[in-house]
Amino acid sequence: MTSRSSGSGFPGGLSGAGVPEHEPVFHISVVSRMVGIHQQTLRSYERVGLVQPARSRGNTRLYSTADVARLRQVVRLVNDLGVNLAGVEVILGLLRQIERLRQELEETRAALVEARREA
């Protein structure tokens, strides 16, 4: 089986700071500055299901590096390309499906190579 690309550009799904890509570490105020959108916009994106930040024991939203990357993708689609939130949801779903199919193709190719070796 092949390793999955983390999308972060760092080995093993780590961010540049050595934090696992899906580790919730950023508060909403930090993410707001990182992505360049208002905190209320982040909350609305959560309400419509475009991002699901983790929650601390005190119910504070905590975002991971993967969440930030996804939010940057949403912001680009909305601001740069003029896509509405329903369209963003469809596009992100299609991108996930493409990634799953790409992975399946990789695995099938690897299995085919292995089968040819055994033949």
Residue boundaries of the structural domains of the chain: 11-118
Question: What pLDDT does 9 receive?
Answer: 47
DSSP line for the chain: -PPPP-SSSSGGGB-TTS-BTT---EEHHHHHHHHTS-HHHHHHHHHTTS---EE-TT--EEE-HHHHHHHHHHHIIIIIT---HHHHHHHHHHHHHHHHHHHHHHHHHHHHHHHHHH-
User: What's the CATH architecture for 11-118?
Assistant: Orthogonal Bundle (1.10)
Per-residue pLDDT for the chain (119 aa), expressed as one digit of tens each?
A: 333 344 444 445 556 567 899 999 999 999 999 999 999 999 999 999 999 999 999 999 999 999 999 999 999 999 999 999 999 999 999 999 999 999 999 999 999 999 999 98
What is the model's pTM? 0.76
Amino acid at 4: R
